[in-house]
Chain A
Amino acid sequence: MNKVFDYIRASQIWRSIFRHGYPDTPRNRTLAVLSNFFLHLHPVKVRRSGIQLSYTWCMGGVTFFLFLIETITGLLLMFYYRPTAELAYQDIFALRENVPLGIMRELHRWSAHLMVISVWLHMYRVFLTGSYKAPREFNWNVGVILLVLTLLLSFTGYLLPWDQLAVWAITVGTNMARATPVLGHEGPGAALVSLGGLDFIHAGDDVRFGLLAGRFVGEGALLRFYVLHCVGIPIAAAVLMAVHFWRIRKDGGISGPL
């Protein structure tokens, strides 16, 4: 058996991928991290306190992991889901009725719930260890935006099953936008935006209308939320995550006493 492994490790194919020996010496352990695109997110060496589970709670890592799960399962779901008012519900229903042992929607939904929780706990931990303090102020801000994006990802995804729960939860949520000061038709100051008795802000053009592409949660809102959920917000989140991880390194790695 060992002979086989040795043969594989000595082959040109293996050596073209991994340019170092088995990582059991300091040199090879360093190379394992430095010469691997994915691992080079990490420094070669880390503070022992920084990888202690009761210090980090691993919640940032869990969030990233759940984001990857969401991406993979979401991609698979996109093959079977058509975001129109006639077909959306049928497609989701068919996923349950016609796919034996299908758990993609379940994985997607439960991971999404967990991701919201893990983001909150990550923020909680970072606050309690004072890790937002200098020099990490900016990265905390990136994190806050990522937290908001996570909630928006979950919120836009909430509508897609197009069942009663989805439509009414989004109705309740987006009704708030009516009351946006100045820009919502039931918000304070909206009446000020008028000219000669003509109201510029009304139910047909206020900020809620822009969000829903209509006066209520309908077909336009479904398409808008679908595009935001599958393309817009994930791209923004992915870019900000890259910044977030890069800044962790640049700001001195996982936080620890100065």
Chain B
Amino acid sequence: MGQDIKNLVDFLTSPTLYFIEFTLAIVFALKFRAFFTKKSVITAFFVVMTVFFVWAFGDPNFNRIITKPDNIPIIILLATVVYFSWLSLRRAYINDELIKKGEPTVEASMGKQRVFTWPDLVYSELIFLVLFTAVLIVWSIEITAPIEEPAASARTPNPSKAPWYFLGLQELLVYFDPWLAGVLLPSFIIVGLCAIPYIDVNPKGNGYYTFEERKFAVAFFWVGFLLFWVSFVILGTFLRGPNWSFFGPFEYWDLHKLEPMVNVDLATYFWTGMLDMARPTNPIIREMPGFVSLFIFFVVIPKALEKPLMNKLFNGDRAHLIRYHVMMQLLLWFALIPIKMLLRWTVSLKYIVGIPEWFFNV
């Protein structure tokens, strides 16, 4: 029985299933928010998780990965992110119901009241200050900061992991080359975050929680932050072992676990598979199928959607044209990640454009 559960958990946390489950969880939570925002649901979730953790603690492999001192923050991250997502959705749901009835939101009715900073604000600041100091001191006394063997540039540990907050990007290295996963995509994240206020011109939902009034924005951020950032950090921390191979939480980190990877370039599919001929030697001609696909993806699609989307988002006002195209480019770059992941899982696609001689692989 116990072993069956462990095997099931190991099976369910394999990268493909893990990603699909997380996606479904987000879709269901947003879709059935009337149910998921109940207090009993979040209580049940934390009770089940606690029971699971306590039970799983007896397993040596689970214990080893969970109790690493530097992994404790990631447990905190998981718990706080789930709780705050629930809290925000709950408040959004309450506000949405109020708006439907034509009543002011919770924030609007409370916001009319002004209270003195002293004592109402400074006291809660003081309480938080004392509370956090106490927690940090207890934590620091209980758990010693780890220190490993002295640095040795000749001895590479396996696995070599980046700091935990960058593990989402390291996970992307499975699907993309470093120039995309490590340089371009992080730059797009920063640029994209900065661009958000200038792209999102929806005046509603300013200063209060809501879902109905800005469905796309909230759903987008849930997917971006929860799925592609936090869930990847958790995956990278707990489920990636030697050689960046996948290991279930109850699995022994076997150095010799090898996952066969036979990934095929789009060019090979096209020239050898479809046309049944040798791949051309000139890289430009060889990678034409990839260039055409990327051209369609980044140029034709935004142009084709220009009219309907401009009408929907900006009432067809051409003054917003730059706004629209910047938004589309950022969204398409973002969409490239799940698309590449799906192509890898379904048809073992390696590169859409693969020119290793110039380090230009997409």
A83 at interface, CB cutoff 8 A? no
Residue of A96, A124, A189 with most partner-chain B CB within 10 A: A124
Please state if A45 and B117 are interface contacts (CB–CB under 8 Å).
yes
Find the A residue at minimum CB distance from B142: A106
Chain A residues with CB below 8 A from B70, complex form: 113, 165
Please state if B145 and A105 are interface contacts (CB–CB under 8 Å).
yes
Please state if B128 and A133 are interface contacts (CB–CB under 8 Å).
no
Contact string, A60-75, partner B, CB cutoff 8 A, digits 1/0?
0110011001000000
Q: Which of A120, A129, A162 contacts B151 (CB 8 A)?
A: A162
Beyond A32-B118, A61-B125, is A169–B161 a contact (Cβ under 8 Å)?
Answer: yes
Q: A46-B117, A217-B151 are in contact. List 17 more A-B contacts (CB 8 A).
A: A48-B111, A103-B141, A106-B143, A110-B145, A116-B73, A129-B205, A133-B197, A144-B194, A168-B156, A176-B181, A176-B182, A179-B182, A216-B153, A217-B153, A218-B153, A257-B208, A258-B207
A58 at interface, CB cutoff 8 A? yes
A9 at interface, CB cutoff 8 A? no
B-contacting residues, A121-160, CB 8 Å: 121, 123-125, 127-134, 136-137, 140-141, 144, 147-148, 151, 154-155, 158
Find the A residue at minimum CB distance from B173: A176
B129 at interface, CB cutoff 8 A? yes
CA distance A29 to B157 in the complex (A): 59
Please state if B118 and A23 are interface contacts (CB–CB under 8 Å).
yes
Please state if B178 and A175 are interface contacts (CB–CB under 8 Å).
yes
B-contacting residues, A40-58, CB 8 Å: 42-55, 57-58
Q: Is the interface of A mostly helix, strand, loop or mixed?
A: helix
Please state if A177 and B114 are interface contacts (CB–CB under 8 Å).
no
Residue of A62, A168, A186 with most partner-chain B CB within 10 A: A168
Size of the chain A interface, CB-CB below 8 angstroms: 103
Q: Which of A26, A89, A168 contacts B150 (CB 8 A)?
A: A89
Q: Give, as a whole number of angstroms, the nearest-CB distance from A231 to chain B.
A: 21
Beyond A65-B128, A154-B165, is A136–B178 a contact (Cβ under 8 Å)?
Answer: no
Find the A residue at minimum CB distance from B146: A165
CA distance A89 to B150 in the complex (A): 6
Chain B residues with CB below 8 A from A258, complex form: 206-207
A190 at interface, CB cutoff 8 A? yes
Stretch of B2-10, B31-39, B76-84, B300-308 on the interface side: B76-84
Please state if B198 and A137 are interface contacts (CB–CB under 8 Å).
yes
Find the B residue at minimum CB distance from A216: B153
Please state if A164 and B151 are interface contacts (CB–CB under 8 Å).
yes
Chain A residues with CB below 8 A from B88, complex form: 124-125, 128
Nearest 5 pairs of A and B residues by beta carbon = A176-B182, A106-B140, A137-B197, A179-B178, A113-B73
CA distance A104 to B161 in the complex (A): 25
A10 at interface, CB cutoff 8 A? no
A109 at interface, CB cutoff 8 A? yes
Chain A residues with CB below 8 A from B163, complex form: 154-155, 158, 169, 173
Chain B residues with CB below 8 A from A134, complex form: 197, 203, 206
CA distance A219 to B214 in the complex (A): 51
